[in-house]
Amino acid sequence: MGPADSARLRALVEAHTGVVTDYLRRRLQFLPAADVDDLVSETFIVLWRRVRDVPTGDAERPWVIGVARNVLHNAHRSAYRRRHHEGRVRPSTASSSAEDEALSDVAAREALDGLTAPERELLLLHYWEGIDAAGLAVVLGVTPNAAGTRLSRAKARFLERLEPPELDGTELGAADMGEGDGRYE
């Protein structure tokens, strides 16, 4: 590794530590919050090993997030195995007033929970990390067209669940209608 690689690593650290930290903090789930710093370091260790593979330009940030994603998945798998082995669930320490506020949007939470995991991930990468379809393709290792299609589908599914179609009275059967003047009660 030459000085250019070292300089590149430093540039990556300076540019993306915040992005990586935020990404990980948002998705800690049952991992302790104190693990974030270790996971951030682990992410950059991986980036260091592959520093010559990291693309430049628009693809750089999605690529970095893709690495953080893999690091987080590994951590979750390890934690799951440990948790399973220990037979107990570690309490989450990630609650905050903002989270409480977020949870107050019960409809949106339920809509999100109703999506598949890949759909949820796409939406949150897009709206929380601000990654566009081309970047999602880099993170997820799919073609930009596939990423765009999946993102659109996930948005549509989220909206469907968020706003169930308004019911038109004419479509309801008689048994659903009140007697007499036909008004629904």
Partner 1 sequence: MDGTSDREVGDRLRAMDPLRGTARHYLDAEVVVAAVAASHHSRRRRSHRLVLAAVPVLVAAVVLPLALGRPPATGHGAAALGLGGDVRVVVHASSTSAPSAIDGSEGQTYYANVPAALVFSTASSFIEGAKAAGPARVFTVTSPPGPDAARQLAASFGVPRRPVSVYGPDVVVGPVTGTHLAVASHGGVLRWTYVARPDHTLTATGTPTSGTLSQSVNRARAMLSRLDNGYGMLTFSPPSAVLGRTISVSFSMVLDGEPTDLGTTFVFGPDGVLERASGAVIRVRGSGTYAALSPSAALSVLRSTSFCTLEARRGHRRSRPEVVHVDLEHASARFTTFAASRHRSVLVPVWRFAGPALVKGSTVSQFAFDVVSLRPDELRIEHPRCTPVG
Q: Calculate Rg over the CA atoms of the chain.
A: 22
Q: Is 160 in the site for partner 1 (CB under 8 A)?
A: no
Burial 13-45 (b: 16+ CB within 10 A, else e): beebeebbbebbeebbeebeeebbeebbebbbe
Q: Using CB under 8 A, which of 59, 108, 146, 177 touches partner 1?
A: 108
C-alpha distances out from residue 18 to 11, 22, 58, Å: 13, 6, 17
Between 24 and 140, name the residue whose CB sits nearer to partner 1. 24
Tokens of 66: 């893709």
Q: Is 37 in the site for partner 1 (CB under 8 A)?
A: yes
Question: 13: closest CA among 35, 37, 41?
Answer: 41
The least distance separating partner 1 from the CB of residue 35, rounded to whole angstroms, comes to 13
Between 7 and 172, name the residue whose CB sits nearer to partner 1. 7
Tokens of 33: 């919050």
The least distance separating partner 1 from the CB of residue 134, rounded to whole angstroms, comes to 17
User: Tokens 């990390």 identify what position?
Assistant: 129
The least distance separating partner 1 from the CB of residue 33, rounded to whole angstroms, comes to 11
Question: 110: closest CA among 102, 128, 98, 125?
Answer: 102
The least distance separating partner 1 from the CB of residue 114, rounded to whole angstroms, comes to 14
Q: Using CB under 8 A, which of 128, 149, 169, 172 touches partner 1?
A: 128
Question: 140: closest CA among 28, 63, 51, 36?
Answer: 63
Of residues 42-101, those binding partner 1 (CB under 8 A): 44-45, 48-49, 56, 94, 96-99, 101
Contact residues: partner 1, CB under 8 A: 1-4, 6-11, 13-14, 17-18, 21-22, 25-26, 37, 40-41, 44-45, 48-49, 56, 94, 96-99, 101-102, 105, 108-109, 112, 123-124, 127-128, 152, 155-156, 158-159, 162
